[in-house]
Amino acid sequence: MKVLVIPSWYPPYGGGFIQEQADALAEIGNEVTVLAVERISPRAVGQWLKAFLLLFFANYTLQQEGRLKVVRAQVPGLPRLPKLYAQLFSSKVSRCFFRYAKLQAYQPNVMHVHSLLWAGLAAANIKKETNTPYLVTEHRGRFVDNEYVNTGERQEMALPELVPALSGAAKVLCVSSLLMPYLRHRVESAELGVLANMVDVAHFTASDIERNKSEAFHFICVANMVPLKGHETLLNAFKQMVACGDNVHLTLVGDGWHRSYIQQHAEHLNLSKHVTFTGHLSRSDVKQYLNAADAFVLPSQYEAFGIVYIEAMSMGLPVIATNSGGAVDFVNECNGMLIESNNVDVLYIAMKKLMANINTYDQKSISEYVVSHFSKDVIAQKLNRELKIIAGQS
């Protein structure tokens, strides 16, 4: 089956999970081509101007990247003009596709789109000309209209072009069940389903169950340091544990524009001896830190899916997650706790309870649950079945 993957973002600029999923489809026998259009920030003035000057040309590069053929192009980012940017992105993808299809005599059986914004708009245009069906995997939590969605994102969500992009899809797979009602609200007739993201269980392995633990009970949090991740709430709850005399340590892995504030807040709470800030880490280093921890905690205001919870669980760690995100689909009493977001006292109680009952969690069972539900083999086969049905090859 010839699968054209159209991502809204792609490595090296995020989207590693998209690349891994495309590679998994290729590994089971599909011919996978990725059409990746990179958004150039206005801050990169030279690159931005070049992308602007070439905007209406079908210029691209073609590379064989492992099992994947990758068609790459660029488009100038317009953060203050979301509607215009959506049109420019869609137009660039379409131009590159039709030129590539002509030069390579290429016709995909099906398109796999990652997020309606902006790749869904492009796929809808390509379908008009070629009648090629497309499947959408929606990752974006911004479809949930709450206080944590910023003004620019709200403007994008209101784009009228979203309706034909959504209604034109053969099916839309949400990465969590919480996304479904919000997309249903946009187009009642859309066929919706749920397919979780996959985790590299071969990397995040729990084979070494006996960890080298320090004397202190070790919590770990892996997340970008932005307000919606709940770091301030976490530090306030952790402060209560320290104040009670609990022998605990907290490692915060990640970076972001909010990091300096979070570090200052930790110092203000006199937690410097109890909290470690690692900054951004490679995947291999993240694994090592997870391996040294006793439990994972991330009190996000919202997570469309929450792949970091799954990665921690793959290592055998019990997790504390909020009930305002994708974790509601997979966190249960056997592998952790679900709590309400933005509540310091509730988080404090959950952390105390998990620490007190840590021996009731079976690390091997937690890891095996991830393998059976979120491994590459499981997710790739489910996705492949969906694509075959849409392509008429089932």
Whether 264 is in a domain gets the answer yes
pLDDT above 90 for 193: yes
Confidence of residue 179 (pLDDT cuts 50, 70, 90): confident
pLDDT above 60 for 214: no
- pLDDT at position 251 is 98
| Chain CA centroid to CA 108, Å | 26
Report the share of the chain in percent with pLDDT over 90: 71
pLDDT above 60 for 156: no
Looking at residue 291, which CATH number applies to its domain?
3.40.50.2000
- Give the domain extent around 246: 217-372
Whether 208 is in a domain gets the answer no
Whether 210 is in a domain gets the answer no
Together in a domain, 355 and 384: no
Residue 184's φ and ψ, nearest 5 degrees, are -60, -35
- pLDDT, tens digit (0-9, with 9 covering 90-100), for 286-303: 999 999 999 999 999 988
Together in a domain, 313 and 255: yes
Together in a domain, 179 and 224: no
- pLDDT at position 210 is 53
Whether 206 is in a domain gets the answer no
Together in a domain, 270 and 379: no
User: Averaged over 313-321, what is the pLDDT?
Assistant: 97
- pLDDT at position 157 is 55
Whether 45 is in a domain gets the answer yes
Together in a domain, 95 and 154: yes
3-state DSSP of the chain: CEEEEEECCCCCCCCHHHHHHHHHHHHCCCEEEEEEEEEECCCCHHHHHHHHHCCCCCCCEEEEECCEEEEEEEEECCCCCHHHHHHHHHHHHHHHHHHHHHHHCCCCCEEEEECHHHHHHHHHHHHHHHCCCEEEEECCHHHCCCCCCCHHHHHHHCCCCHHHHHHCCCEEEECCHHHHHHHHHHCCCCCEEECCCCCCCCCCCCCCCCCCCCCCEEEEEECCCCHHHCHHHHHHHHHHHHHCCCCEEEEEECCCCCHHHHHHHHHHCCCCCCEEEEECCCHHHHHHHHHCCCEEEECCCCECCCHHHHHHHHCCCCEEEECCEHHHHCCCCCCEEEECCCCHHHHHHHHHHHHHCHHHCCHHHHHHHHHHHHCHHHHHHHHHHHHHHHHCCC
pLDDT above 90 for 269: yes
Together in a domain, 155 and 50: yes
Together in a domain, 140 and 106: yes
- pLDDT at position 45 is 86
pLDDT above 50 for 148: no
User: Averaged over 332-359, what is the pLDDT?
Assistant: 97
Lowest mean pLDDT among 97-111, 164-178, 236-250: 164-178
| Chain CA centroid to CA 208, Å | 27
Confidence of residue 285 (pLDDT cuts 50, 70, 90): very high
Higher pLDDT, 149 or 217: 217
Question: What average pLDDT is seen over the chain?
Answer: 90
Together in a domain, 247 and 189: no
pLDDT above 90 for 187: no
- pLDDT at position 344 is 98
Whether 212 is in a domain gets the answer no
In the chain, the number of structural domains is: 2
Tell the residue number behind the tokens 């390579």, with chain if given. Answer: 104
Together in a domain, 382 and 297: no
Whether 302 is in a domain gets the answer yes
- pLDDT at position 208 is 52
pLDDT above 80 for 112: yes
Together in a domain, 143 and 271: no
Instruction: Kindly state the tokens that stand for 62.
Output: 């073609």
Together in a domain, 143 and 258: no
Together in a domain, 385 and 317: no
Cα–Cα distance list, 161 to 84, 117, 186, 299 (Å) = 11, 10, 11, 34
- pLDDT at position 207 is 52
Taking each helix axis as running N to C, give the angle between helix 231-243 and helix 344-356, from 0 to 180 degrees, rounded to the nearest 10.
Answer: 60
Whether 108 is in a domain gets the answer yes
